[in-house]
Amino acid sequence: MLKLKFTAFKPVDDLELSERYLKGHTKVLEDYGITNITSNNRVWLEMPCIYGVVAQNEEGELVGGIRVQMADGIHPLPVEKAVGHMDGRIYDVVKQYYDNGVGELSALWNAKSVAGYGISVLLTRAGISMTNQMGCNTLVGICGDYTLDMFKNVGFVVDNTLGSNGEFFYPKEDFIARVLGILNSKNLETAEKVNRERMLDLRNNPVQKYMETGPKGLVEIDYNLVIPTKAQ
């Protein structure tokens, strides 16, 4: 049985972990021939508005991760950089929710060693569940066709007002991406029942050990989704 540890972290306070995250994410993207993802850069390592979750195996190796970037009025969200030059209305979407706390889920990856276990959805749920600790009430994102159903299941809704009925050619001309939004990341009303229940449970109990059910069977996850502060 696969056993993993999911841990929340703040990149500006943990450079070593951030470097390992970047290395793992870059490797996965290169394996798929993708080199121009807007969230895959080094700038986020020094941004206080970035939060993350990493997945580690029993040997301590990083096998996955996800990040949340809060809109801070200084650094554009990855989705703004990705499609803003194609449809400037994305800036209005972010601005509309800015005062109430808007962020973006991005940079999701998992290593080939854990492929097929459903780690992507578990990381996505973990990232969404801890947004309350950031004062985030609205989440946006961008995804490809291959992950669209997963993101819909956790509550994201395609914004058909942007691009061509919600579609953009990104990050390559033969890839179709869609801009997504969770209009309420506080009550998660648009998520499927099972996903919503798990996310709310993780939110209420961010430190827990739980036997998750994935496509390849049970996965034991040791969660610590409390975002650390420097004092800790």
On the question of pLDDT at 231 being above 60, the answer is no
Domain positions in the chain are 2-224
> What residues have CB less than 8 Å from 49, skipping those under 6 apart?
69, 70, 71, 72, 74, 75
Residue 38 predicted with pLDDT over 80: no
Q: Are 54 and 17 in contact (CB under 8 A)?
A: yes
SS3 assignment, position 93: helix
The CATH classification number of 2-224 equals 3.40.630.30
Tens-place pLDDT, residues 64-92 = 999 999 999 999 999 998 888 888 889 99
pTM: 0.91
**Coil/strand/helix, residue 101:** coil
Q: Residue 113: is its pLDDT beyond 50?
A: yes
From 36, 192, 204, 31, select the one nearest 121 (Cα to Cα).
192
DSSP 164: B
Residue type for position 142: I
